[in-house]
Amino acid sequence: MLLAIDCGNTNTLFAIHDGTQWRAQWRSGTDSTRTADEHAVWLSQLMSLNGFSFDDIKSCVISTVVPQALFNLRNLSRRYFEAEPVIVGETGVNLDIEVRLARPQEAGADRLVNALGARGRYEGALIIIDSGTATTFDVIAEDGAFEGGIIAPGINLSMQALHAAAAKLPRVAIARPQKVIGNDTVSAMQSGVFWGYIDLIDGLVARIKSEYGAPMQVVATGGVVSLFDGASATIDHYDPELTMRGLLEVWKINGGVA
């Protein structure tokens, strides 16, 4: 079985694939100081609850945007699964994707993995929206090449910034308000962040499509993407499995056998 690890700035996702389908997924808060042993204790308990053991894992693929976390994740694979991990972005790891940036090395591992996960499922040119600590809008050409995009603050980051920078504004949970006009501080903050974020998405998608000048499908993924279901006028597909599917493709491209 394959263990796929997607380490983001806020959360880290661990998923098991048996060669045919995804069997289990677990999410933890990203902590770059968490050792391989600490990862193993946490992961072993969750795996056992689902009927898996470390002996079931034969391969590992890792994508991370947190360089400090890579050392411990690599050691987790080597020490507990006796597998040399395939690590997105490292020399010798082939992604089989053309990067049409002025500086191709600046393309984030997570963005390229998403492109791989999308291009085998959706046809034509794509806009991939990944909502996490940052929200990225990535343009994938009809031939599958990565053409660039937009990086904006994530919805959680926006809410945290309001609380941190304004002394009288409380920390509130992100929620979809029933009305745009709030009648108290909490509902006003929730409306401003939620509907402002939806308009950010719809507005930037419209600008990308206008500049690109060709039909495009819009695919959304990420930890808070379910919040947008039915609110955005421009998102065509909600795909929470996009990144994991991309990691599976990376593994296959680099010799993994499904």
Q: Token pair 């979809």 is at which residue?
A: 176
What is residue 26's three-state secondary structure?
A: strand
Task: Report the 10 Å Cβ neighbour count for 160.
Answer: 14
Q: Give the closest residue to 240 by CA, choosing from 130, 124, 145.
A: 130
Q: Architecture of domain 2-92 in CATH?
A: 2-Layer Sandwich (3.30)
Q: Contact 11/223 with Cβ under 8 angstroms?
A: yes
Q: Token pair 């990067």 is at which residue?
A: 99
Q: Contact 244/13 with Cβ under 8 angstroms?
A: yes
Structure token pair of residue 56: 């079931």
pLDDT at 110: 85
Instruction: List the domain boundaries for the chain.
Output: 2-92, 122-238
Task: Look up 96 and say whether it is catalytic.
Answer: no
Q: Architecture of domain 122-238 in CATH?
A: 2-Layer Sandwich (3.30)
Structure token pair of residue 91: 């020399």
pLDDT truncated to tens, each residue of the chain (258 aa)? 999 999 988 889 999 999 899 999 999 999 999 999 999 999 999 999 999 999 999 999 999 989 999 999 999 999 999 999 999 988 889 888 999 999 988 888 889 999 999 988 999 999 999 988 889 999 999 999 999 999 998 887 777 777 777 767 777 878 788 889 988 888 888 888 899 999 999 999 999 999 999 999 999 998 777 788 888 999 999 998 899 999 999 999 998 754
Tell me the per-residue pLDDT of 34-88, one tens digit each, with 9 for 90 and over. 999 999 999 999 999 999 999 999 999 999 989 999 999 999 999 999 999 999 9
Residues 6+ away with beta carbon under 8 Å from 73: 5, 7, 36, 39, 62, 64, 85
> Could you say which of 6, 110, 130, 239 is catalytic?
110
Does this chain's domain 2-92 share its CATH topology with 122-238? yes
Q: How many helices (H) and strands (E) does the chain have?
A: 6, 10
